[in-house]
Amino acid sequence: MSKVEGAKTTGDDAASGDFIRTMIEEDLANDKHKGRVATRFPPEPNGYLHIGHAKSICLNFGVAKQYSGTCNLRFDDTNPTKESVEYVNSIKEDVRWLGFDWEDREYYASNYFDRLYEFAVELIAKGLAYVDSLTADQIREHRGTLTEPGKASPYRDRPVEENLDLFERMKAGEFADGTHVLRAKIDMAHPNLLMRDPTLYRIRKAHHHRTGDKWCIYPMYDFTHCLSDSIEHITHSLCTLEFENNRALYDWVLDHLNVPSRPEQTEFARLNLGYTVLSKRKLIELVDQGHVSGWDDPRMPTISGLRRRGYPPEAIRNFCDRIGIAKRDSIVDMALLEYSVREHLNVVAPRHMGVLRPLKLVIENYPDDQVEELDFINNPERPEDGTRKVPFSKVLYIEQDDFREVPFRKYFRLAPGREVRLRYAYLVTCTDFVKDEATGEILEVRCTYDPETRGGNAPDGRKVKGTIHWVSAAHALEAEVRLYDYLFKAHNPSTIAEGGHFSDHLNPESLEVLADCKLEPCLADIEPGSRFQFERLGYFCADAKESTPGKPVFNRTVTLRDTWARIEKARKAAEQSKKK
């Protein structure tokens, strides 16, 4: 199998040697954090997880495992209007499916609301926070710019007592949304804009999926995150680069409060992937506007979409290991993810035969009612997986692409007078074909078989170059097969450089439904979600959501790039040139 250039070929075990692991090893050597390693994965339950989150999950759970530490699952649920139990449940399912276990350490920032409130009171009492009564717009105007310092709010010097009283009344629900906020009193001229008296609490009279109507003030991310880390005795708080500027505030809060422990934040580059978007906001838009069938649409870069598409968790973990952890943002090629999927499935996936665009093949000299059970190797990569029986009979289906009335150069499949091998069956020679003269469509191909070639080998050693797959017509399982292409046409649909709105770059051909496929009969009993290879066509899985015994549905997980993708490309190019 071919290798993707530049890819590391490490297995499932996390690679040592990135800057985060180096830092942790130094901390351990220096007995910092008393030799403990405690990380957390902190999703906000406002959407489904995507492959970018998988990188963070693999890192946080991976280092915890590697250094005999712990990793908490913590829901950062401080924005009740955007969060829901559905999202919480999907996140837990996805993390578990990826192969990670938070044991009994399932935490919620909302569990800390009482303590966070006490911390806020402590800041006010120390003269380090105040209630501001400017509007959101006014606060923004006062903030200044990168080149100009901000202006102090007229409420900045409210006495401590008044702040304590107002904050308590904010909590008691006396004020409307947006009338007051609690702000840290830091420095309105600070070069880092986030340090210009950031908001710590706001009023939001909204029902929370866990705390119900107990609270009408909610803490902001920057205040919540560092304190949650501290409450949980996290040692290494790993997050993506966009939080680099937030680190100063993270430290300021912890440095000015009497906290239970002192975690440290370290940033790494987020995963960006070509031909897709990795932002919950954009993914929600795709779902809400009906561009996809849901969060688990097999074209989505969500964990649930990849799962439904047939991506194995091992492949996703190997991919995360391969891309490594760096300090600089870049866009990873989708081909690398697909490579990881193929690499894993090549070893584990059983082989089957399926005809996606059927063309009838009649073997003229084969006895009418005869059926032979031929032996097929389940997986050449794993001889221990044994063989199975596949029925063979007089009328078969082959791929339309495997017959040409007029073969082009280097076309080694069926054509008038040509001999090919039917996979594991017999050598057949094309004698005739039936064509709809009006449309040019080939309706049927006729051939004779050589009974001496059972299994597909000629006793006289004559060379037959082409081998094609087939399915016995009388035994075929009729099914729908869905083929997928990239969801976007642009390599980076999110950038302004590509122009327009990101959804302008959606690929209209990302889904192709083939309703009339003929598959090997044993696939009728396949477990939903299980994965296999159709020889020459790629890796597929039974759709876990829509497949039923009466109407089986299969998804193509990924092509066999080295063979079929090339063939399909040639076919599409030929079709295109015909149209012109």
Nearer to ligand ATP by Cβ, of 79 and 111: the residue is 79
Q: How far is the CB of 302 from ligand ATP (least distance, A)?
A: 10
Q: How far is the CB of 191 from ligand ATP (least distance, A)?
A: 24
Q: How far is the CB of 238 from ligand ATP (least distance, A)?
A: 7
Nearer to ligand ATP by Cβ, of 40 and 413: the residue is 40
Q: Between helices 160-171 and 113-125, what is the axis angle to 10°?
A: 160
CB 435 within 8 A of CB 359: no
Q: Which stretch binds ligand ATP (CB under 6 A): 31-39, 53-61, 196-204, 385-393?
A: 53-61
Q: Which residues pair with 268 in a beta bridge?
A: 240
79 binds ligand ATP (CB under 6 A): no
280 tagged catalytic: yes
53 binds ligand ATP (CB under 6 A): yes
Secondary-structure breakdown of the chain: helix, strand, coil percentages, each rounded to the nearest 5:
35, 25, 45
Q: How far is the CB of 361 from ligand ATP (least distance, A)?
A: 48
Q: Which stretch binds ligand ATP (CB under 6 A): 8-16, 47-55, 211-219, 223-231?
A: 47-55
Nearer to ligand ATP by Cβ, of 124 and 271: the residue is 271
CB 532 within 8 A of CB 310: no
Nearer to ligand ATP by Cβ, of 50 and 536: the residue is 50
280 binds ligand ATP (CB under 6 A): yes
Nearer to ligand ATP by Cβ, of 281 and 462: the residue is 281
Q: How far is the CB of 503 from ligand ATP (least distance, A)?
A: 16
Spell out the residues 6+ positions from residue 269 whose beta carbon is closer than 8 angstroms to its own: 240, 241, 325, 326, 327, 328, 329, 330
Q: Name residues contacting ligand ATP, limited to 55-74 (CB under 6 A).
A: 55-56
CB 244 within 8 A of CB 268: no
The CB density around residue 134, as the number of other CB atoms within 10 Å, is 18
Q: Name residues contacting ligand ATP, limited to 235-264 (CB under 6 A).
A: 239-240
> Which parts of 168-224 are beta strand (E)?
181-184, 199-203, 217-219
224 binds ligand ATP (CB under 6 A): no
- How far apart are alpha carbons 565 and 530 in whole angstroms? 23
Q: How far is the CB of 544 from ligand ATP (least distance, A)?
A: 24
Site for ligand ATP (CB under 6 A): which residue of 43, 62, 150, 305?
43
Active-site position among 40, 55, 183, 270: 270
DSSP state, residue 568: H
Sheet with strand 181-184: strands edge to edge? 129-132, 181-184, 199-203, 217-219
103 tagged catalytic: no
Q: How far is the CB of 372 from ligand ATP (least distance, A)?
A: 53
CB 197 within 8 A of CB 156: yes
Q: Which residues pair with 445 in a beta bridge?
A: 361, 433
- Choose among 182, 198, 181: nearest CA to 251: 198
42 binds ligand ATP (CB under 6 A): yes
Site string (535-574) toward ligand ATP, x via CB under 6 A: ----------------------------------------
Query: Would you give the distance in Å from CA 530 to the centre of its chain?
Result: 18
Nearer to ligand ATP by Cβ, of 271 and 355: the residue is 271
Site for ligand ATP (CB under 6 A): which residue of 199, 261, 279, 346?
279
Q: How far is the CB of 97 from ligand ATP (least distance, A)?
A: 16
278 binds ligand ATP (CB under 6 A): yes
* 484: phi then psi, degrees, rounded to nearest 5: -125, 150
327 binds ligand ATP (CB under 6 A): no
Q: Which stretch binds ligand ATP (CB under 6 A): 79-87, 222-230, 251-259, 273-281?
A: 273-281
505 binds ligand ATP (CB under 6 A): no
Active-site position among 44, 93, 244, 498: 44
Stretch (H or E) spanning 136: helix 136-142
Size of the site for ligand ATP (CB under 6 A): 15
Taking CA atoms, 373 is separated from 264, 380, 390, 429, in Å, by 65, 19, 5, 21
Q: How far is the CB of 493 from ligand ATP (least distance, A)?
A: 14
Alpha-carbon Rg for the chain, nearest whole angstrom, is: 31
356, two tokens = 């996606």
Nearer to ligand ATP by Cβ, of 281 and 566: the residue is 281
Q: How far is the CB of 96 from ligand ATP (least distance, A)?
A: 16
Which residue reads 């009906």 in tokens? Answer: 290
Question: Does residue 267 sit in helix, strand or coil?
Answer: strand
- How far apart are alpha carbons 403 and 421 in whole angstroms? 13
166 binds ligand ATP (CB under 6 A): no
281 binds ligand ATP (CB under 6 A): yes
531 binds ligand ATP (CB under 6 A): no
Site for ligand ATP (CB under 6 A): which residue of 271, 287, 337, 445?
271
Active-site position among 40, 196, 280, 308: 280
Q: Is 293 exposed, middle or buried (0-12, 13-18, 19+ CB in 10 A)?
A: middle
- Choose among 564, 542, 560: nearest CA to 552: 542
CB 446 within 8 A of CB 432: yes
52 binds ligand ATP (CB under 6 A): yes
- How far apart are alpha carbons 47 and 494 in whole angstroms? 18
CB 542 within 8 A of CB 310: no
Stretch (H or E) spanning 372: strand 372-377
336 binds ligand ATP (CB under 6 A): no
Q: How far is the CB of 53 from ligand ATP (least distance, A)?
A: 5
Nearer to ligand ATP by Cβ, of 111 and 400: the residue is 111
270 tagged catalytic: yes
Taking every pair of C-alpha atoms in the chain, what is the biggest distance, in angstroms?
Answer: 102
Q: Name residues contacting ligand ATP, limited to 452-481 (CB under 6 A).
A: none
Angle at 402 between CA 396 and CA 403, to 5 degrees: 90
204, two tokens = 């939001």
Contacting residues toward ligand ATP, per CB under 6 A? 42-44, 52-53, 55-56, 239-240, 270-271, 278-281
What positions carry a catalytic annotation? 44, 270, 280
